[in-house]
Structure 1
Amino acid sequence: MAPSVEALGLKVSPLKYEEQIEPGSQKTGYVDVSNPNDGTVTVNTDVEAFRQTDIDGNLEYYEAERINKGIQFDVDQFQLAPREAARIFFAIDGSALPEGGVYAALLFSVDSEPPDEGEASSIGTTSRVGTLLILQNGDSGVRTGEISGVDVPLLQFGDGIQGNVEFTAADKARSIAFQPKLDSSLPIVGEREMDTGLVFPGNTRRFELDRTGSYIGVFPVEVTEGATGDTARSWVVAATGIWQILAPLILVVLIANLVLLRRFQKTSSLKKTAPRKKRRRS
């Protein structure tokens, strides 16, 4: 029986490779590929371009002639024994690549054998892993943008303050895809860096804002972009974490005290306004 795609999985390092090269220059790099499985595998190499396709940062891989000419592996195919690793080199030719931002995926695939005759399917499958290669071919690229939206619901309950932040990368000459530095800030507890990802020039990407913790009150949530200082703010009414339990109890106690106070005030008022009985003389 042929092994599953999961059993044929490879591991690569690094997952992302960023470099700046001079126009027309050549450079060599490498990717470490390992086989964590119990069987020997034959690995195929390939290079494809990639681009951002939506606000969630999903990527599309596609064939591009200039990318294939400008970035090439030393080998088209190699074998890995069980739990063996290999360092696979690739060459970059800046003269064959477009100037500015270059985005390529260094891919490694293992074709599974089709199932034996008589099994449910006779079609083999392919498992691919790879390294994202981000190049600046020429002068230093422009890495800038702005916070284009902050969507943090007004009422916040649950485990903490949660919402979404949208960031739009500038689409200027020499702009290059980059990972923005975004910080979320809450009163008293301060700043915390958000998890972000690659944003392509002229594209918008949505990132999750998650500040787990116990918060109560009405206060602003601020998000700041590190490079430009661009800031956006949204106000929330929060009772999160332990305050989800304490706040209702405190509210019940306050309401009970108010009810008792009103009753006490009403009773005192009745006593003061009640007419006094006149004493009879003997």
Structure 2
Amino acid sequence: MEPWGLSGPAFLGVYAGSLVVALVLTALLRRRKPWRRVRAGQQPLSLWETAYLTGGPERVVDSAIASLIRQERLRARSYGLLQPIGDALPADPVERAVFEAVSAAQRLSLTKTRKEAGRRRAVRAVEASLARRGLLVRSRLDALFTASPVFAVAAVGVARLVNGIRLHRPVGLLVVFLLVTGAVLFFLLRRPSPRHTRAGLKARQAALRPGPTPVPLPALAGAVGPVVLGGLAAYPDTVIKTALFHLPPTGIGGSSSSGSSSCGSSSSSCSSSSGSSCGSGCGGGCGG
């Protein structure tokens, strides 16, 4: 008589189907917005917190880049290169993290700046602040909860394995299935992604479109405000935006010489444009 009334191949078929269903349930649990208590009377969100809610750590870095360009602490070169201006560190921790990332390389691409600065403590602290406010969830307990259907399937598989070993049945394929399940669990739990709570989603929606919000939002104005909501693609200065997102032709890697020459051509085009555009685009963005 077959253990549990199922032959080995039949059990593996049921196990594989159950694992697929468990993965679907896990995906649905991760899509749901968890509820967290939001303390009343909180201070307005900072620019960085608002940027994180609307676009994650990359949006925080983009917003800090926009602020540093506006302050003429960073220069936007062509081909998406950023260059520091001066050596004095900004006072704001997030801006300092971005400035240090660019300064360490003297000239860094926008993509690498997002990657390097996004890993720094000051940017991670923004995420932690939102979690304390009840707007984000980033705990491993939440990741374990969402992966619980997969754990349940794995537990049944382990029980079947123990039973098969005790009855001296072949269990080689079951071991393979359990190893696959273990790899899936490792992937699900390796690095829990922060998720908006219901309140965090409402705050995000209120930032993008005026509406009720559980926490006060900051005033979003100037060159940084549009970037907080839409990333550097929304930067109001066309010259700087073009420099940041203009990719080099084939064979040009964005070296120091190519950056200088491209900036020179950008400066010449600036001189023929209007005075206001030239002042903000060349002087603060790519001039020098």
TM-score (ref. length: structure 1): 0.25
Higher relative contact order (CA 8 A, sep 6+): 2
Q: Which one has a larger percent helix, Structure 1 or Structure 2? A: 2
